[in-house]
Amino acid sequence: MLLKYFYDEKLAQASYLVGCAKTGEALVIDPMRNVTPYLRAAEKEGLRITHVTETHIHADFVSGSRELSTATGATIYLSDMGDAEWKYGYANDPRVVRVRDGDFFMVGNIKVDVLHTPGHTLEHLAFQITDTAAANRPIGVFTGDFLFVGDVGRPDLLEEAAGYKGTKEPGARMQYQTVQKFKALPDYLQIWPGHGAGSACGKALGAIPSTTLGYEKLFNPAFQFADEDSFVRWLLAGQPEPPKYFAQMKKVNKLGPALLNQLPQPLNFDRSTLDAVIQDGGQVFDLRNRGQFAFSHVPGTVNVPADNNTYVTFLGWLVDYERPVYLLLPSVDGEHAVLSDLRSIGIDYVPGYFSPEVTAHNTQALPVITARELARRLPQNGIMIVDVRGKGEYAERHIAGSRHVPLGYLSDRLHEIPRDRTVITQCASGYRSQIAASLLQANGYDNVITLNEGEECWSKFLPTEGVR
C-alpha cells in the first residue's frame, strides 16, 4: 500500500492518496479543487486514480471530487447518510456511487470500510483502510472532520454558518456517540485527519499530521468525558467565529462545484477601468504587502496582503460572492497562484486584475501608529480603539476601553464606528488591523489609523484587561 499526504497550508486542509502497488489503482480522499498535485503524484508512482471520495459536504473549501473524476474517469463515492436536506445534489451522476454505514469498496487489494461518524455534519463518514495483501486487520482510519489531533470537529457550523437553527446541540450529542463508538476500536489504528492547526473546523487542533487512536484516547479531551451533557457543554464552548464564506462552501459542495475549465479567465485591466469599477461601487482587493499599501494605494480598495498564508480566509470573510471581484496583484507573474487560491474557496467571479503600476498616481496613504505613540496620545479625548480580533482573543486580553468588532463582521457593524472621532484599528500582529483600517477608509472614513504593531508591543505600553 502506498500513502501520500497533501496539505494546503492556507486552509490547513489535508487530503490523501492511497494506492495499491499490485494493481496500480488509487483512491484520493477529500481532494482540493486544484487536482494537479494528485495527478502528478499518481504519474510518478505509476498509479491510476480510479476512486475518489470525500468525508462530508465541506464548509471550508471547494471539493475537488468532481474535478478529479472528470480528469481521470474515477468513480466518486459520496455519503448517502444524513437527512434529505444534506444529500448531495449531484449524486445521480453516473460516475457517483452512494455509500452508507457498513458498506465497503475495494481499491485493488485495499479494502475501504465506510463508517458513519455524524456530529460535525449529519452525513459525515470516515474510511477505515485494510491492506488485504499484507494483513487481515485495518491499519488506520481517515477521519475527515470528525477526529483531529487533540480535538474533534465542531458541530455548530450548520447553525452558525449555514443558518440551520437548533442543529448544534443535537450535533454535539451525535459527536459524543461517535466518540463512544471509536472508543471500542483498537488503539493501534492510525488516524489521518482532514485538518491541522489553524482550521476553523475545531478549536484546538494539533499541528502534527497524524496520530493514533490510542494516543487520542489518552490525551484528546473529547475522550475524557463520562457523560454526554458535560461533553456537549465542553464541545460548544469557545468555538471560534466561523468565516462567512462557510455558508457559500456548503451550498457549492452540496450542489457540485463548477469545473475549472468552464470558468472565464480574468483580464489585465488598466487604471481607467479600475477607477470605473470603484466609481460603480465594485469590490477591489489590493493584495500587496502592508507597507506598500500604507505608503500609496488607490482610494476605495481594500488591502488583504497575500504574503500571509491566512489571506484566503480573510478574503472569504469580506467578499460578496454575488458580485464580481477585482484584484490588484503584487505582481502579474503571480496571477495563476492567486487565482488558484481564490478558487479554492469558490471565488470564481473574477473578471480581471490590475498590476501594481496603477498606483503610480492619484493615490492616498493609510496612516499608521506605533504602540508607544498611541500610549502618548491615548489620554487625549476623541480616540476610539477598535479591536478586530476574535472573541476568544479579546476575552483573554485587550486594551482597556477598546471596542470589540471582529474583522469579519466589521462591514455589518459600520454604524458602530464613529466618523467624528479618531479611530485606531488594532489586532494581534498588525495584519488584521490594516485590513480593517483599509476597509473603513474604503467606506469613506477619513479618521482611521492602524496600529502596525502586535500584542507584544501594545500590551507593554498600554493598559490591558482580560483573563490573562
| Whether the predicted pLDDT of 43 surpasses 90 | yes
Where residue 330 sits, what CATH number does that domain have?
3.40.250.10
pLDDT > 70 fraction of the chain, expressed in percent and rounded: 100
Alpha helices in 73-222 (DSSP H): 157-160, 168-183, 213-219
Q: Looking at 293-436, which runs of residues are DSSP E strands?
A: 302-303, 325-328, 352-354, 368-369, 383-387, 398-399, 403-404, 422-426
In this prediction, residues 359-386 reach a mean pLDDT of 93
38 Cβ neighbours under 8 A, 6+ residues apart: 6, 15, 17, 28, 31, 49, 64, 68
Predicted confidence (pLDDT) per residue in 313-334, tens digit: 999 999 999 999 999 999 988 8
In this prediction, residues 377-402 reach a mean pLDDT of 93
Same domain for 216 and 305, yes or no, is: no
| Whether the predicted pLDDT of 285 surpasses 80 | yes
In this prediction, residues 252-257 reach a mean pLDDT of 95
pTM of the model: 0.94
Same domain for 268 and 241, yes or no, is: no
* In a domain? residue 215: yes
Same domain for 315 and 375, yes or no, is: no
Asked if 249 and 346 count as a contact pair (C-beta separation under 8 A), the reply is: yes
Same domain for 154 and 278, yes or no, is: no
pLDDT reported for residue 332: 86
Helix H or strand E encompassing 272: helix 271-279
336 Cβ neighbours under 8 A, 6+ residues apart: none
pLDDT reported for residue 23: 98
Where residue 200 sits, what CATH number does that domain have?
3.60.15.10
Query: Per-residue confidence at 380, pLDDT binned at 50, 70, 90?
Result: confident
* In a domain? residue 362: no
Same domain for 242 and 273, yes or no, is: no
| Whether the predicted pLDDT of 65 surpasses 90 | yes
Same domain for 159 and 48, yes or no, is: yes
Predicted confidence (pLDDT) per residue in 213-246, tens digit: 999 999 999 999 999 999 999 999 989 888 889 9
* In a domain? residue 181: yes
Full residue range of the structural domain in which residue 294 is found: 264-357
Q: Return the bridge partners of 19, or none.
A: 2, 26
Give the angle 118-235-388 at the CA atoms, nearest 5°: 115
- DSSP letter at 426? E
The interaxial angle of helices 431-442 and 311-318, nearest 10 deg, is 30
pLDDT reported for residue 240: 87
